[in-house]
Chains A and B, each alone.
Chain A
Amino acid sequence: MTEKTIDFQTDPTKYRHWRVEYAGDVANLYMDVDETAGLFDGYELKLNSYDLGVDIELADIVQRMRFEHPEVKVVVMRSAKDKVFCAGANIRMLGGASHAHKVNFCKFTNETRNTFEAAEEDSGQKYICAVKGACAGGGYELALACNYIMLTDDGSSAVALPEVPLLAVLPGTGGLTRVTDKRKVRRDRADIFCSIEEGVKGKRAKEWDLVDEVVPNAKFDEIVDQRAKEFAAASQKPTGAGVKLEPLQRSIAADGSLNYTLVEVVLDRAKGRATVTLNGPDAPAPASPEALHALGDQSYLLRLARELDDAILHLRLNEREVGLLIFRSQGDPEGVLAHEKLLLDNQDHWLAREILAYWKRVLKRIDVTSRSMAALVEHGSCFAGVLAEVLWAVDRTYMMEGEFEGDNRPTAAIRMSPSNFGPFPMGNDLTRLQTRFLGAPEQAEELKSKQGETIEAKAADALGLVTYIYDDIDWEDEIRIFMEERASFSPDALTGMEANLRFAGPETMETRIFGRLTAWQNWIFNRPNATGEDGALQRYGTGIRGDYNNERV
């Protein structure tokens, strides 16, 4: 597979694989994969199988559904193809892809699944999956992430997770975890289900809780429409006129550096590092939700979230040797808090709610980015409220202390707000501060009283909000040494270490999905039984079975 730059930006005029029909408060989302339009050469996307390109479109649709179509309360996902719902991730694509691409692909698809899965809770947009035809592997994983699964009872349509018998890998988008944790399928039944290629159909699929409803085939479309209407009628979702998500303003320099309106990414490929700067507001906060709405996609926190999201995805997929991300910020912290306050005070307004929910996703995206990450709280920075969350998402935080020669920017400080105590939980369902102070819950509690305070270095250090504080004498050297040391470690060991350390505390379905994917699938992806020359994944499609080494490891 040839290397090429993967662009996560798309829009409906460019879709090749999906189509949406809007009908009032119900949207019908049709998967109709163009088999000739794979992201890379060397495979055809037959039978509604998908690659990263298909998923980028889906992610875009889910995102636009939230912002451009707040009137939609129910989304019905279905196939536009006869006889097949979706055959899952394209196997030839997986067989030809590098390990890194496979993992990044799985991670992005996971995030997209989580996004539409959470749409009901976050936004009141409920996803129904209407399954007609074969629904296998990643196809069933698409269904599993929906809030309600309907299966036609035509005697042949089935849901299946055939990865183990067919490909010697696992369902890569949380399939196994959702079967047991979300759908709560009994483990022995799940064992059978995951061992049979052809899956389970009809009434048994319902009996085993693999789907929510089995519908007579002749009435399938009718009952699906009826369910959609019922769910829509029961929804309390606030609605309004949507805001259009225009293409981002982004330029990419020859050295890979990125420039948006609020986010700058400076790349140093030789040293394997990227510095991501988040700039403070370039306009005062709107006075009311109506004024916020009038700004469309240009309001500060929405624009910043979109740009940051795109930058992270771009770095993940296109700059794979950049092992260290340094986050910094510059700007007016009061401005940040003012923008944020408008959203927090108006959570009954759909747009305010959506922007906050989007920040929750973007921050989670940072949490699960498998790069070493650090934040620098410099003079003139604006790590306030939601932006301060970045400080506790990264692995280490360094803060400037005292005066720096020739630097007349405002003294480095952190400002906490209600944002740091609830609206942006991590995958473990705790706030970043709760996770940080897992051993001292009272500390996390006490910090609430510090909201609104300007917390400079010494205080921040005492409160445990930062890793190190350095003055003018040490700052540059310590940061340099940290970065050089980091660059000298094995990237694999770092990825493993960081992922272990970042998610302290309780497990949730979400952490299990990512954790198990990381642990098991990546291991299997590296084992010869799957990806060796004679492994099942490599041989899939040739007709020759995988040659297994039967040693249990």
Chain B
Amino acid sequence: MQDLMNVSYDTQIPNNVGLSSDKRVLKALEKWHPGYINWWNDLIPDNFQQSLVYLRTAVSVDPKGWAKFDYVKMPEYRWGVLLAPQVEDRKIPCGEHAGEVAWQEVPGEYRNMLKRLIVIQGDTEPASVEQQRFLGLTAPSLYDMRNLFQVNVEEGRHLWAMVYLLHKYFGADGREEADDLLRRSSGSEEAPRMLGAFNEETPDWLSFFMFTYFTDRDGKMQLESLAQSGFDPLSRTCRFMLTEEAHHMFVGETGVGRTIERTCQVMKENGIDDPYDVDKIRSFGVIDLPTIQKKLNLHYTLSLDLFGQEVSTNAANAFNAGIKGRYMEHRIDDDHKLTDDTYVVWNMEGDQAVQKEVPALTAINMRLRDDYTRDASGGIQRWNKIIEKLGVDFKLKLPHEAFNRKIGVFSGHNFDPEGKLVSGAEYDAGIPNWLPTHADGDFIQSLMKPVYEPGQYAGWIAPPKVGIDNKPGDFEYVKLHVA
């Protein structure tokens, strides 16, 4: 009997799924592996590939101690295939099959739907690594650089996780899709990533933090809903991915928080009370709060678009089929079928945004998006506490969900961040105050100078409260390779 809690390192691919006795899948994965390594090697600048990075590697799926930390060169990172432990006698949690025994093999009737969901999820994982590939060159500290690389290798592992499912359960089609996951590439004209938000470069570190806070949180919500899947291997994969995802959100929240903290400190040190005294604040080399609000507006609204149409047949089908649940499905007290329930969604009637009830099944996306917004608002409050504590009179907030939307009912309409429909002229006039301008981008870019001394931080960001793995402040998180 194999040990499914701990990870087997006896194959090229660490895993807890008994790969060494599953020759067919092992062979397929080993065939895919070189392409993956090439992808990775071509991706991140070479001197970082050669550097020793203090990374955590999953060695177990036991929640009490699943990772160990050590120096590792990224190309040698052991990207493994790890599934959360199987829950005995697990049932399909939702949809028309609710209460039936969870599937251990792909049900033929839902094969294509499942494959599509896995491919879309899989496509986002390497995409973010691609978007962030040059950030190492401007890291504000070795601590942050290490966090970036940790996020990167784990997104890489998440790709592995999806590729494993494709190879194991979807036959020749699955292998083809797995190859295409390496063929598509963020921002590529040739074969772009599937979702729009994953084709924009992450140009600076504030964008990176915003991305990990807002966009990775969309990823988290998607994983949460796939973790509810009646297809047990998918559920188990996603449950384990979520343990890693928490760190990504942490990197985002603390990254933005430290930026805010530094800005407020510098304002206080220099006697600036008006947070809108932008030029003066910037002259001290920190990012003013209104600009941070603009970045927040941008990333939050881009992330809302990732939830798709408010009313969606695909989402309804997936829920009813039991292959994708709602956030925390098991904690929801209803029949988990939703055949007669309704849910309130936005719609445009003429020029009027109205909320109306629609069949709950069709509003699965909207519901997940609402859960997302609740989840995302927690960090905003904590950021505001930092501002308040440092005595600055400013409050960050989430813009209205109608603002700056490209997908869904609000797209094509001009809403301001308060959710008020405005004229084209008002919109044009407001935009420089609502979304980052090119000039804002230039300014932020001007601050993006690398700091590679252990324990040192760029002037625009405060050091973290505690180190990773409880390491001291001057710990050398990355031993940079000097060619």
- A-side interface residues toward B, CB under 8 Å? 46, 82-83, 153-156, 165, 196-198, 216-218, 540-545
Q: Which 6 A-B pairs have the closest CB atoms?
A: A543-B316, A218-B189, A543-B361, A155-B191, A543-B320, A155-B184
Taken together as a complex, chains A and B put the C-alpha atoms of A198 and B177 apart, in Å, by: 12
B450 within 8 A of A: no
Cβ contacts A to B, 10 pairs, < 8 Å: A154-B191, A155-B191, A165-B112, A196-B112, A217-B188, A217-B189, A218-B190, A541-B316, A543-B338, A543-B359
| Contact assessment for A544 and B361 in the assembled complex, using a CB-CB cutoff below 8 Å | yes
Find chain B residues with CB under 8 A from A541 CB.
313, 316, 362
B353 within 8 A of A: no
| Contact assessment for A542 and B361 in the assembled complex, using a CB-CB cutoff below 8 Å | yes
Find chain A residues with CB under 8 A from B320 CB.
543-545
B380 within 8 A of A: no
Residue of A153, A165, A218, A543 near B313 (CB, 8 A) is A543
Nearest-neighbor residue (CB-CB) of A547 within chain B: B96
Find chain A residues with CB under 8 A from B359 CB.
542-543
Find chain B residues with CB under 8 A from A218 CB.
188-190
Nearest-neighbor residue (CB-CB) of B321 within chain A: A545
- Among A153, A218, A543, the one with the most B-chain Cβ atoms within 10 Å of its Cβ is A543
Q: A-facing mask of B312-338, CB < 8 A → 1, else 0?
A: 010111011100000000000000001
Dominant secondary structure of chain B at its interface with chain A: helix
Size class of the B contact interface (CB-based, 8 Å): 20 to 34
Q: How far is the CB of A488 from chain B (nearest CB, A)?
A: 45
| Contact assessment for A540 and B313 in the assembled complex, using a CB-CB cutoff below 8 Å | yes
Known A-B contacts A216-B190, A218-B189; the reply to A544 vs B96 at CB < 8 A is yes
Find chain B residues with CB under 8 A from A83 CB.
196
Taken together as a complex, chains A and B put the C-alpha atoms of A378 and B186 apart, in Å, by: 73
Nearest-neighbor residue (CB-CB) of B348 within chain A: A36
Taken together as a complex, chains A and B put the C-alpha atoms of A315 and B184 apart, in Å, by: 52
Taken together as a complex, chains A and B put the C-alpha atoms of A190 and B30 apart, in Å, by: 33
Nearest-neighbor residue (CB-CB) of A201 within chain B: B180
Taken together as a complex, chains A and B put the C-alpha atoms of A20 and B112 apart, in Å, by: 36
Nearest-neighbor residue (CB-CB) of B111 within chain A: A196
Q: How far is the CB of B374 from chain A (nearest CB, A)?
A: 23
Taken together as a complex, chains A and B put the C-alpha atoms of A320 and B183 apart, in Å, by: 54
| Contact assessment for A543 and B309 in the assembled complex, using a CB-CB cutoff below 8 Å | no
| Contact assessment for A217 and B362 in the assembled complex, using a CB-CB cutoff below 8 Å | no
Q: How far is the CB of A45 from chain B (nearest CB, A)?
A: 13
- Among B116, B317, B364, the one with the most A-chain Cβ atoms within 10 Å of its Cβ is B317
| Contact assessment for B313 and A217 in the assembled complex, using a CB-CB cutoff below 8 Å | no
| Contact assessment for B319 and A155 in the assembled complex, using a CB-CB cutoff below 8 Å | no
B192 within 8 A of A: yes
Q: How far is the CB of A493 from chain B (nearest CB, A)?
A: 38
- Among A154, A216, A540, the one with the most B-chain Cβ atoms within 10 Å of its Cβ is A154
Q: How far is the CB of B59 from chain A (nearest CB, A)?
A: 34
8 A Cβ contacts from B179-221 to A: 180, 183-184, 188-192, 194, 196
| Contact assessment for A198 and B116 in the assembled complex, using a CB-CB cutoff below 8 Å | yes
| Contact assessment for A155 and B180 in the assembled complex, using a CB-CB cutoff below 8 Å | yes
8 A Cβ contacts from B422-438 to A: none
Other A-B pairs, 6, CB within 8 Å; known A198-B116, A541-B316, A544-B320? A156-B191, A218-B189, A543-B316, A543-B317, A544-B361, A545-B317
Taken together as a complex, chains A and B put the C-alpha atoms of A217 and B309 apart, in Å, by: 26
Taken together as a complex, chains A and B put the C-alpha atoms of A82 and B194 apart, in Å, by: 12
Q: How far is the CB of B184 from chain A (nearest CB, A)?
A: 4
B113 within 8 A of A: yes
Taken together as a complex, chains A and B put the C-alpha atoms of A46 and B317 apart, in Å, by: 17
Find chain B residues with CB under 8 A from A540 CB.
313
Residue of B194, B309, B315 near A46 (CB, 8 A) is B309
